[in-house]
Amino acid sequence: MSAPMSVFDIAGRAMSAQIVRLNTVASNMANAGTVSSTKEGAYRALKPVFTEVSDAPGVSTVKVGQVVQSDTEPTKRHDPANPLADKNGDVWDAGVDSASELVDMIETQRQYQNNVQVMQTAKTLTLDTLRIEK
């Protein structure tokens, strides 16, 4: 049987999950302006799916279970000058909501920073406890 999760394990795993989330946001933002000649070929935003990891009642953290495509559909736009345009002069813009991605980026950064603060507080408390024992 493995050792129980410590506050460092819990916060560290949460930080790892937020890094995956931030990487998907970065990928989505990088592809937000791309176009395709077909709806099927157009980029669709990626979203991580988090799953709970429990150690004991009241002790749990999170991990990324999988990364899936979002439901945001690509949009058709008439642009006959685009080299990727189909015979009707249409292209498909990536299925990415840039405003939503920016909100996700800010939320991810704040959640990551919260876990950094948890680890810093736990470290300080541990060091203070060791000093008391001397």
Q: Enumerate the domain spans of the chain.
A: 7-133
Predicted confidence (pLDDT) per residue in 42-98, tens digit: 999 999 999 998 888 888 889 999 999 998 899 999 999 999 999 999 999 999 999
Q: What is the pLDDT averaged over residues 4-23?
A: 93
Task: Give the pairing of strands 90-93 and 35-36.
Answer: antiparallel
Q: pTM to 2 decimals?
A: 0.85
Element (H, E) at 69: strand 59-69
DSSP character for 98?
H
| pLDDT band for position 2 (cuts 50, 70, 90) | low
Does residue 44 come out as left (phi exceeding 0), alpha (psi in the -120 to 50 range) or beta?
beta
Is the separation of the CB atoms in 90 and 39 below 8 Å? no
Is the separation of the CB atoms in 53 and 62 below 8 Å? yes
CA dist 94 and 18 (Å) reads 24
